[in-house]
Structure 1
Amino acid sequence: MNLRKRNKATVEVHTSALNDIMFFLMLFFLLASAVVNPQVVKLLLPRSESGQQSNAQKTVTVSIDENLKYFVEKQPVTLEQLKTEVEKYQQSSPDLTLVLYVARGVSIENTMLVFDVANQLKLKVVLAVEPKK
């Protein structure tokens, strides 16, 4: 008497639908990370343990890269043009905050030149940093 089953059932997991979901999630996060702050020039920022989020509503971003090139809202400007470019933004909103992105290795002297421009225009300045890991 043979009591064994003759047809063995195979267990399968279909993952083709999961591939589509993973692709769309990856695409969403890539697009979301690019949209977070598109006016910023990509820089390696200094690190800080006590960095906080700025809650300023009206901001203008000024960036200094490692080649000492200045940018206002991703538009390259010279140091002489910096004050007039920031004044244009200040005219549209008087309670403007200047967010300063400085690459690692840029001397404090170059950073202070932007602080001087902000002080002449009586603007608040926030220095952007990366949190320490």
Structure 2
Amino acid sequence: MNLRKKNKPTVEVNASAMSDIMFFLMLFFLIASTVTNPNIIKLMLPKSDTGQSVSKKTVTISVTKDLEYFMDKQQVQLDEIQGRLLAMSTKADALTIILYVDRTVAIQDVVQIMDIANRLSIKLVLATEPK
């Protein structure tokens, strides 16, 4: 009778290295997501099938759902926009306004910005989200 115990090797999975890798991946994606668009104003844009991009001297005007106006990420009042655009249009020969408007904003508020662009003869593009 052989009553000796057999020495079987134990199988272990060391998960500490896996948790370190997952932590570093999470940290990388958090940092990368904040760097990609650091100063973007969150808006829900309307959708469009035929979107075009603009590559000239551009000015972005954003209108939030609370009717706050931002011109190149700087908050301005509605009556200040025309003066600032006039100053910019004298410096640049082909100025284009990219208008970002939340989809819940009334069309009359959009038309006010369009009227300012028409008075100054500046091309205006309404930004949309692709479907």
**Normalising to structure 1: TM-score of the pair?**
0.74
- C-alpha distance in 2 between matches for 1:57 and 1:23: 42
**Residues 21 and 122 of structure 1: is their aligned pair in 2 closer, same or farther, counting only changes over 3 Å?**
farther
Unaligned 5+ segments in structure 1 are: none
- C-alpha distance in 1 between matches for 2:52 and 2:26: 26
For 2:33, the aligned partner's letter is: S
For 1:26, the aligned partner's letter is: M
Alignment of 1:95-114 (within 5 A): 95-114=94-113
Measure how far apart 1:63 and its partner are.
Answer: 0.8
Alignment of 1:1-133 (within 5 A): 6-48=6-48, 50-52=49-51, 54-132=53-131
Q: Deviations over 1:46-93 (max 9, x none)?
A: 223x15351425322111111212111222211110112233444443
- C-alpha distance in 2 between matches for 1:41 and 1:127: 16
**Residues 9 and 51 of structure 1: is their aligned pair in 2 closer, same or farther, counting only changes over 3 Å?**
farther
**Normalising to structure 2: TM-score of the pair?**
0.75
- C-alpha distance in 2 between matches for 1:123 and 1:111: 15
Q: Deviations over 1:2-49 (max 9, x none)?
A: 6xx82323333333333333333333333333333444321222223x
For 2:97, the aligned partner's letter is: L
- C-alpha distance in 1 between matches for 2:69 and 2:77: 6
- 4+ residue runs over 4 A deviation: none
**Residues 22 and 10 of structure 1: is their aligned pair in 2 closer, same or farther, counting only changes over 3 Å?**
same
RMSD: 2.8
Identical-residue share of aligned pairs (%):
50
**Residues 102 and 19 of structure 1: is their aligned pair in 2 closer, same or farther, counting only changes over 3 Å?**
same
Q: State the number of aligned residues.
A: 130
**Residues 58 and 14 of structure 1: is their aligned pair in 2 closer, same or farther, counting only changes over 3 Å?**
farther
